[in-house]
């Protein structure tokens, strides 16, 4: 494809690049991805704290422009998660990611229209172009190429001699706003984990059971927010002295419900046959995850279970509104206050 063809192809797409705060908790990052999925079905996670979103179809669906969608995302992140994000919008991945990096913290939206790309990129320092690493920037600056505009003006063959064939071709294209890469949806990982560390060596069985229940509640909520269900659980125990114990067991049916997870976790804990072991930490990991929509709904004649599932849904709505620690089993409340 020639340069003109690449430019036409790139102009057809509208891409959003989102930068979350650094050192964001993994669970919060996943919640941001869920909010992005509410804007568009095409979301590509860029762990640990960024993501790409294809907006072409979303703009028609929401009947608004990309900058407004970026502001909607910011409002939802702030109001629901307590974090702000930097959002860049452009016709290509490179332009959108370069734009998001130019947004000053803690958050904001910068949209670059297709016909503005060349003029907007030109004055930026060459290291500001997304994909240009520190070493490449030093090489370019040593040869008098200080801005993206100068990089775009240099013959691509010259850039290839400076940076190498592939890297030089990509740098020359992207400086001209050419980047045909699509946003590729990235699936969630096939496992999820929660952990608890005791403040001191623990022998008290009641404290351990409370910690286990807290892990079950957290893991179940985590899976339900991600729209996933676990086929198996792994329980890991860490003891004073550095020894560990780990065991995996499969669920009868894939689930993300606290009832199902709790029963299996207690079976795993019983299998550990602890007596006077001094625990320092517990980890619970959901394995072999599937989309919750793939789980068959079984007809149940257990009225008590159905009531607990309805209560779980109500508690999830309360947690979404007031925070994950706003409601839960009474036995874990002292544990959470202590932490």
Roughly how many angstroms between the first and final C-alpha of the chain, as a whole number?
58
pLDDT digit string, tens, across residues 206-230: 888 889 999 999 999 989 988 888 9
Partner residues linked to 19 by β-bridges: 50, 86
> What are the start-end ranges of the H helices in the chain?
3-11, 26-37, 56-62, 66-76, 93-102, 117-121, 134-142, 148-153, 156-163, 165-175, 205-226, 258-272, 303-322, 333-338
Closest among 62, 64, 84, 89 to 74, alpha carbons compared: 84
SS3 of residue 176 by DSSP = coil
pLDDT digit string, tens, across residues 83-96: 999 999 999 999 99
* For the chain, percent of residues with pLDDT exceeding 70: 91
Residue 192's pLDDT band, with cuts at 50, 70 and 90, is confident
**How many residues can be counted in the chain?**
339
Say what the pTM is. Answer: 0.59
Q: Are 197 and 281 in contact (CB under 8 A)?
A: yes
* Structure-block tokens of residue 17: 């690049």
User: What pLDDT does residue 188 have?
Assistant: 56
User: What pLDDT does residue 297 have?
Assistant: 60
Q: Mutual orientation of helices 26-37 and 205-226 as an angle, nearest 10°?
A: 30
Q: Are 237 and 244 in contact (CB under 8 A)?
A: yes
SS3 of residue 102 by DSSP = helix
Q: Are 235 and 282 in contact (CB under 8 A)?
A: yes
* Per-residue pLDDT at 8 exceeds 50: no
SS3 of residue 240 by DSSP = coil
* Structure-block tokens of residue 118: 């060349």
Q: Report, in angstroms and rounded to the nearest whole number, the Rg of the chain calculated over CA atoms.
A: 25
Residue 300: count other Cβ atoms within 10 Å of its Cβ.
10
Whole-angstrom distance, CA of residue 237 vs CA of residue 273: 12
* Structure-block tokens of residue 209: 């059971």
Q: Are 244 and 236 in contact (CB under 8 A)?
A: yes
* Per-residue pLDDT at 187 exceeds 70: no
61: left (phi > 0), else alpha (psi -120 to 50), else beta? Answer: alpha
Distances in whole angstroms, Cα of residue 301 to Cα of each of 125, 263, 298, 305: 67, 19, 10, 9
């Amino acid at each position: 494809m020639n340069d003109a063809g690449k430019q036409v192809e790139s102009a057809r797409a509208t891409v959003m690049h989102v930068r979350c705060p650094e050192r964001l908790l993994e669970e919060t990052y996943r919640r941001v991805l869920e909010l992005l999925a509410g804007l568009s079905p095409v979301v590509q996670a860029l762990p640990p704290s960024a993501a790409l979103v294809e907006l072409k179809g979303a703009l028609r669906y929401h009947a608004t422009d990309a900058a407004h969608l970026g502001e909607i995302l910011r409002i939802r992140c702030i109001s629901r998660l307590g974090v702000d994000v930097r959002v860049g919008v452009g016709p290509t991945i490179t332009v959108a990611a370069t734009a998001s990096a130019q947004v000053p913290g803690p958050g904001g939206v910068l949209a670059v229209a297709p016909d503005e790309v060349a003029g907007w990129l030109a004055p930026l320092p060459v290291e500001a172009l997304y994909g240009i690493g520190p070493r490449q920037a030093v090489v370019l600056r040593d040869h008098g190429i200080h801005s993206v505009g100068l990089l775009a003006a240099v013959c691509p063959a010259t850039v290839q001699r400076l940076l190498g064939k592939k890297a030089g071709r990509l740098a020359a294209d992207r400086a001209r706003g050419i980047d045909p890469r699509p946003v590729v949806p990235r699936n969630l990982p096939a496992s999820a984990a929660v952990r608890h560390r005791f403040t001191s060596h623990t022998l008290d069985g009641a404290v351990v059971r409370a910690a286990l229940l807290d892990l079950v509640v957290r893991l179940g909520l985590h899976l339900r927010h991600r729209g996933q269900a676990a086929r198996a659980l792994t329980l890991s125990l860490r003891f004073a002295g550095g020894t560990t114990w780990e065991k995996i067991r499969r669920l009868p049916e894939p689930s993300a419900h606290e009832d199902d997870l709790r029963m299996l976790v207690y079976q795993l804990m019983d299998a550990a046959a602890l007596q006077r072991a001094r625990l320092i930490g517990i980890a619970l990991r959901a394995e072999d995850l599937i989309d919750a929509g793939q789980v068959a709904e079984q007809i149940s004649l257990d009225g008590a279970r159905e009531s607990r599932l309805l209560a779980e849904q109500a508690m999830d709505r309360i947690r979404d509104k007031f925070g994950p620690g706003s409601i839960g089993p009474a036995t874990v409340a002292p544990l959470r206050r202590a932490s």
